[in-house]
Structures are given as C-alpha cells and as structure tokens.
Amino acid sequence: MCDGMPNIPKSGSGAGMRSRALYWLFGIVAVSPLVAFVLMTRVPGWDSLAMHPTGHFWIVSAATLLSGAIGTALALSVSSVRSTRTVYLALGFIAIALIFATHGLGTPGFLVPAGQYPYAVVISAGLSQTVGAIFIALSVLPTSWPGSKFVQRNATPILGVALVLLFGYLFSMVFKPDFWEFLPRSRPWDTILALSTIALLAFAGWRYYRSWKLTQLPGQLAMLGALAFLCEAQISMYYGQLWHLSWWLYHGLLLAAFCTLIAGWAIEAVRAKSLIVFSRAIELRDSLDALHSSDEAALEALEAAVEAKDSYTRNHMGRVAEYTEAIAREMNLTPEQIEVAVTAGRIHDVGKITVPDAVLMKPGRLTEKEFETMKHHAARGEHIANSSRVLRHVSKVVRAHHERYAGNGYPDGLRGEQIPLEARIVAVADTFDALTSSRVYRPLRPWSEAVTELERVAGTQLDPDCVAAFLRWMVKSGELDAQREAA
Ligand SMILES: [Fe+2]
C-alpha cells in the first residue's frame, strides 16, 4: 500500500528555492507599506488630499466586518476546542471589530453632521488596535502564565463579559461620545499607545514565526503577515495626515491584514478543515522550548501536546517507548543506543501535528492523496526533532520509523541495515501497539493475534531479529501470559 517514494526536499532543490523565494516575497510585501509611508511624508506633493467620507465609511465597515468574521469563526470553534489561546485570539479580533466600528459610524456626514469630528472617530481607531493587540498577545503567552488556567475554565463567561463591555463602548460612542473625553489624545500619549501596540503585535508575530518554523502551515504564515500589516498601520494611524494618503494607508493596511488572514485560513480550512492548528503549534513550540533534558516528565509534556489532537492514539507513544526499551535491552544495546531508541519511540509521531484531523481520524481507508499527506509526518517529525537541542540526536530515527525491512516503506525506501537499528526497533513496538489498541478505523486485536501478525510480517515489514527479541521479552517478562489471563 505504500509503494512509490515521495520527493524529499533537500537544500538547493526546487522546494528549497521556492521557500527562499517565498521569504523574499513575504519580506517585500511586508516592508512596502512602510516605504510608501516614508515616501508620502517626505516627497512633497505625494501625500495628496482625498476627502471621501463615504469611502471612509465603507472601507471601515468592510474592515470591521472582516475582523468580526474572523473573531466569530474563532469563537465558534472554542466550545469544541476549550483552548485558552483561541479564546484570546477570538476576543482580539472581535474587539478590533466592535471598537473600530465606532470609527466608521462616526464618519462626518453619517450619524453626525458633516464637518464635526466626534471623539469616537478620533480615538477609536487607535484604541481598537491596542485592545486587539492585548488579546492577540495574550493568545500566544507561554502556557505557564498564571491566568491561563482561569481563562481556560471560564472561556464562555469571559467572552460574554468582554462582548457586553465592547458593545457598551460601541453604543456609548454613538449616543454619548462626550463620556469618553477623559481619554487623553495628545502626542506623547499617542506615541505610547502606538509603541505599546507595536510591541504587543511584534511579540505575537515572533511567537507565530517560531511555531510556523515548526509546521510551515499557510495559516500561520498568513497570521504573521497580518500582524506585520497591523504593526505598520500604527504608524500611519498616528502620524498620517487626516484625509491624506498617509492617513488612508492605515485603512488599507487593516483591510489587507484581515484579507491576508482570511486567505491563509481558507487554504487551511480546505486542507485541514480546522483552525485548531494555531494553538497546537504554539503549544508544541512551548513544550519543545521547555525541554531541557530527555527525562520522562519533560518528554511526557511534549507527548501530551502532540496527542491532544487524537484521543485514539492517547498514550500510544508512551507505550511504544516502553516496548522499545524492552526490545533494546533484550538485544543488549549500549545505554546510549537504548536512550536514542526510547526517546525516538516517545516522540516518533510528533510530525502528526501537521497532519489534518480529517486524515488522521478518518474512519475509512485513506485515499492515495490522503495517504501522501499522512506520510509527510515522518519527515516533518525529523524537522521538529531537529529544532530542539535535546531531540536532535534522534531525528534520523524519527524520520525512519515507517521504513520497512524489505524496502518498500517511507519516506526514503531504505531497506534492511540501511534503516537505523533504533528505527527498526521502534517500528516493531509501533506496529504491536497499533495492533493491540483500538483505532478509529478498526477495533483492537487480542495480544495472541497481534503476536501471530508480528511473526507473519517479520522479514518483510519488520526486522526479524527485533521481532524475535520482542517475543523473547514477552515470554520472559510474563506479559503475554498476563494478557492471556486478562482475556
Ligand atoms: Fe508514525
């Protein structure tokens, strides 16, 4: 079922060049608004006046609707995900939508007479970004943050309270804007708001960048682009000249930010049918960073970040590590080899974090295309292991855990001794645990049947020496008898 080898991107290959080109394109697109702003404000005559209240109303309304749609989509995914990060992210975009809406509604000539500039217009654009940035930054705070448990438990009431406050702001700004005149609006205050908003967005951007490096999913790259646009919007917002191009720039940037994000998510939605990967990748990055040693507890935390997505494989990697250790000891490997095998066994499926749930948890047989997607987890796992100092030494073993002894495995189609010994051991442990646990696509099999199956595939799929060592351990340790009695 798995003949045919996928292409493996090597440095200097087409894939490598494509990603370099992507970096450049991303950089140029991200920097150009800043260059445009500098040119507009420095070159005389470039910052022309364009007084279009109607245009302003519609562009702000469009940005508001898009931000609101992003926030709502995220909020709707919360009840099933129970993720603190998603709650914060949803609040961030909903806050931007509701506060920014008052900026549009207060456009002179709409709800207020032409020629008047109510405080709502003056202050709401900046405020919407600052409040939004606070929530977006909270959405990427490290897991150890003391308040994160509270928010996790009270996701729904917090969303409710925030929505009431935000709607309160919206209505008071429309009907009683004078109330808000105690909020200062002066140069030093502006600069403080702009700088802190940029700092918050940059912090979030840095966190998304690091998790994007792990998974390289388009949705995360889109988030990074959106955050860059929002950062640059701050400069035009506070330092552009009212009704001039330098001021219009930020309206365009906000629209661009939300469109970028929605486009990235649309790709993700088609590919994975889920937005959960944002929080997962951040959690994975956190647990990799927290990994200072390959001790049991640290690796268990990492395992939890991976297995959170798939209840069917819960504890799978822990059991695989256990069987791997038994086989490695039975084969009299050195302590160093045993450590490599066990660590690799514990994280062997870490690359599955990038496999869409629709594929990973599909009850039926995978299509050719879905299987190709599934196969990527081996190479992605190698990449993720390489990104951690503690795991780097097991990356080759992680990559090779689906190679087959006879040579028709993936991703490289290695055979026999070409496959690292530790990977051959992990493969036996992995196969056995897959056979003896229930999966979404089939019920579990009794141990005796699983043993017969292992013997059947020894020499083709699995290394016969490793299988023999595993069976010896089972007899010696009495595990097989214990299972027979239990059955
Ligand atoms: Fe795997």
Q: What is the pLDDT along the chain (487 residues), one digit of tens a residue?
A: 333 333 334 444 566 677 788 888 888 988 899 999 999 888 888 888 888 888 888 898 899 999 999 888 887 776 554 577 888 888 899 999 988 888 887 777 766 666 666 666 778 888 899 999 998 988 888 777 777 777 667 777 877 888 899 888 888 877 777 777 777 777 788 888 899 999 999 999 999 898 888 877 778 888 999 999 999 999 988 888 888 999 899 999 999 999 998 888 888 777 666 666 666 777 778 778 777 766 667 777 777 777 665 555 667 888 899 999 999 999 999 999 999 999 999 889 888 888 877 787 777 888 888 888 889 999 999 998 998 888 899 999 999 999 999 998 999 999 999 999 999 999 999 999 988 876 656 666 788 888 999 999 999 999 999 999 999 998 888 776 676 666 5
Task: Classify residue 108 by its DSSP letter.
Answer: B
Cα–Cα dist 7/3, whole Å: 13
Alpha carbon of 362 to ligand 1 centroid (Å): 15
Quote the ligand 1 centre to 401 CA distance (angstroms). 6
Q: Which of 93, 119, 92, 91 is nearest to 106 (CA)?
A: 119
**How far away, in angstroms, is 408 Cα from ligand 1 center?**
15
User: How many angstroms is it from 93 CA to the middle of ligand 1?
Assistant: 36
Q: How far is the CA of 114 from the centre of ligand 1 (A)?
A: 65
In this prediction, residue 329 carries a pLDDT of 95
What pLDDT is recorded for position 310? 56
DSSP character at residue 418:
G
Q: How far is the CA of 443 from the centre of ligand 1 (A)?
A: 19
Could you state, in order of their start, the residue ranges of all structural domains in the chain?
Answer: 13-277, 291-486
Ligand 1 centroid–CA 15 distance in Å is 23
* pLDDT at 361 (0 to 100): 77
- How far is ligand 1, taken at its centre, from the CA of residue 392, in Å? 18
Q: Tell me what pLDDT residue 388 has.
A: 85
291-486 falls under which CATH superfamily?
Hypothetical protein af1432 (1.10.3210.10)
Q: How far, in Å, from the CA of 427 to the mean position of ligand 1?
A: 9
Q: Which residue stretches of 43-154 are H helix?
A: 53-81, 84-105, 119-138, 148-153
How is residue 134 written in tokens?
């606070």
Please report the pLDDT score of residue 448 as a whole number: 83
Using the mean position of ligand 1's atoms as its centre, give its distance from the Cα of residue 317 in Å.
10
User: Measured in angstroms, how far is the CA atom of residue 378 from the centroid of ligand 1?
Assistant: 6
Distance between CA atoms of residues 34 and 339, nearest Å: 51
Query: Cis ω on the peptide bond leading into residue 411 (within 30° of 0)?
Result: yes
CA of 357 to the centre of ligand 1 (A): 15
- Quick one: pLDDT at residue 220? 82
Backbone angles phi, psi at 201, to 5 degrees: -70, -35
At residue 327, the pLDDT reads: 96
Q: How far is the CA of 91 from the centre of ligand 1 (A)?
A: 36
Structure token digits, residue 82: 């129970």
Give me the pLDDT at residue 105, please: 79
Can you tell me the distance from the alpha carbon of 379 to that of 390, in angstroms, rounded to the nearest whole number?
A: 18
Give the E-state strand segments of 201-305 in sequence order.
Answer: none
Could you tell me the distance, in angstroms and rounded to a whole number, from the CA of residue 352 to the centre of ligand 1?
8
- Quote the ligand 1 centre to 426 CA distance (angstroms): 10
Q: How far is the CA of 285 from the centre of ligand 1 (A)?
A: 20
Q: Please tell me the distance between residue 171's alpha carbon and the centre of ligand 1 in angstroms.
A: 54
Tokens of 310: 């798939």
Separation of CA 92 and ligand 1 centre (Å): 36
Ligand 1 centroid–CA 366 distance in Å is 15
Span from the CA of 336 to the centroid of ligand 1 (angstroms): 23
Expressed in angstroms and rounded, the spacing between residue 431 Cα and the centre of ligand 1 is 10
Q: How far is the CA of 311 from the centre of ligand 1 (A)?
A: 15
User: 239 C-alpha to center of ligand 1: Å?
Assistant: 53
CA of 120 from ligand 1 middle (Å) equals: 55
**Ligand 1 centre from 75 Cα, in Å?**
32
Phi/psi of residue 149, nearest 5 degrees: -65, -40
pLDDT at 272: 64
Q: Which residues pair with 49 in a beta bridge?
A: 244
Residue 143: both structure tokens together = 């897991």
